Chain A
């Protein structure tokens, strides 16, 4: 078993927090897209477009900016793939 490393612990905690934020943002984005579809079905096209656009922003932030750039890259780096 590896010796206890506080830096590793904080690092994993931070990745975990980022993952949480990414999950929340992605869920929010998905929710926005879903209600966009609902609004579209109800004939409220402008509101639907509005929600769709915001949903896309949230999905971009959640999946790419945080999910990929902050979480996935760090995890990959930590496993030793990133450095090569």
Chain B
């Protein structure tokens, strides 16, 4: 029959083609092993190649070679099912949770089935091998025994699982991969259905098994989708997850100003964001206007401030990338929002600090200029006095004394400045310092008229005595100048010690900037004292915080942490 001849030629050529193409693809994908999922695809192609090869032997050879072909075909068709599931699970990212032992178990099972086919105990695996004249030659085809049927159920189960993975991946991925996954899914479905029909006895010809051709055709189509379009520079699942989980909110807008894609961060940030929602219909008015101006503006620096779910205001810098097609026609825009809240905050803080520094410089120059002009004035007067015919020595000496005083005042101010600059340096050499003796020593020079000192700690700390003394002195002076206090206490705390007073305390609004350079609430103050304290404390590796004392008053807590030696009654010492 002419039809039979034609059909048999077509079948033989298709099977031969399947062998060649899948063999080539196996080699090609192996050479591109750096490409994601290449390794499992290469395995799949190898199994497919041998599967079709086994079948080719069955339909071309005669005698005992038919059985050899059958064993090869049965073994590698089963392995192809395993490789297919491996490939799909790696493609969809499901391989992450599938335990590692699954793959060797399935492989061993497939090989065991191949052995069973070779032995065929009691014809349970292969019911019979039908050999008959078909077109140009003798074709052989097996009919499944009960064990083959069970094996087919298992292999079919693997394909079903792969279809579940692919379907879920397809539904969860909102990108180009959806279509790629759809192609893979559909080819999988076609093979599944046709294999079922073949096993159930629906055949295009009683002597033809079309499954190796179909499975190969499918795998080749998948390979074409993978490599020809090179969708997968990275496994899709990585790109999808990266896009979905990245911290920066990203919104992709198409050329009609409709939202095409957005990630989770964007979803959290912008109210009413949704796929295929036009920009104008988004609830978030600020976002809409910002986007509009960003997309129309030529300058790139647009900022957007919004409160996220947690209620904290954040500022974002919008970076817009134009997406063009191969004809350079704009297809849309990718808007990446980079959070700059912290940078903004730092900028503000820096600006304030600069302002204060300037004020401080003003204070210093003002304070220095006063004694300087005084000194200059007295120098002039003294010179005039001495230039006269009868200089009054006493008046001249008086004038020089004034000059001297002014110089002393200037020296003091310069010392203060130097202290300020030096105290920032770290402390190199420390010794055990008793807080009590250090506080008492500082008290003597702190000019605290009428105040009482009560020391309630016997703690010893590792410190530079003179610098700690300087810090305590400044704290005592601070209590004297600003506190309205009558007593200053040095007390013990869990993590160090504290300087407290029973004065008016420090308003909460002043606390943040209290330790900053040049900050003062007093017209006569220089704003240096507490800044120096903080520098000394931090140079020791300690921390200083300000709180309110029980019953009012200021409380400066110094946390010495592990650097302190603890109190002498500490049981470990």
Contact = CB atoms under 8 A, between A and B. Distances in A.
Interface of A: 10, 14, 17-18, 21, 24-25, 28, 32, 44, 46-47, 50-51, 54, 57-58, 61, 66
Interface string B157-188: 10011011001100110000000000000000
In the A-B complex, list the 8 residue pairs whose CB atoms are closest, starting with the nearest: A46-B171, A47-B171, A50-B167, A21-B153, A54-B164, A17-B150, A14-B146, A47-B168
Interface of B: 121-122, 124, 146-147, 150, 153-154, 157, 160-161, 163-164, 167-168, 171-172
Given A10-B124, A32-B164, A54-B164, A17 B147 contact: yes
B147 A54 contact: no
Given A32-B164, A54-B163, A54-B164, A47 B150 contact: no
A18 B150 contact: yes
Given A25-B157, A28-B161, A54-B167, A44 B150 contact: no
A66 B164 contact: no
A14 B121 CA distance: 13
Contacts of B124: 10, 14
A21 B150 contact: yes
A66 B153 CA distance: 10
A5 B172 CA distance: 55
Contacts of A10: 121-122, 124
A58 B161 CA distance: 10
Given A14-B146, A14-B147, A50-B168, A57 B160 contact: yes
19 contacts: A10-B122, A10-B124, A14-B124, A14-B147, A17-B147, A18-B150, A21-B150, A21-B153, A21-B154, A25-B153, A44-B172, A46-B171, A50-B164, A50-B168, A50-B171, A51-B164, A51-B168, A57-B160, A61-B153
**Would you call the interface of chain B mostly helix, strand, loop, or mixed?**
helix
Contacts of B171: 44, 46-47, 50
Contact of B157 (A28, A44, A50, A51): A28
A21 to B, nearest CB: 5
Given A10-B121, A47-B172, A66-B153, 9 more contacts: A10-B122, A17-B150, A21-B154, A21-B157, A28-B157, A44-B172, A47-B168, A50-B164, A50-B171
A77 B281 CA distance: 68
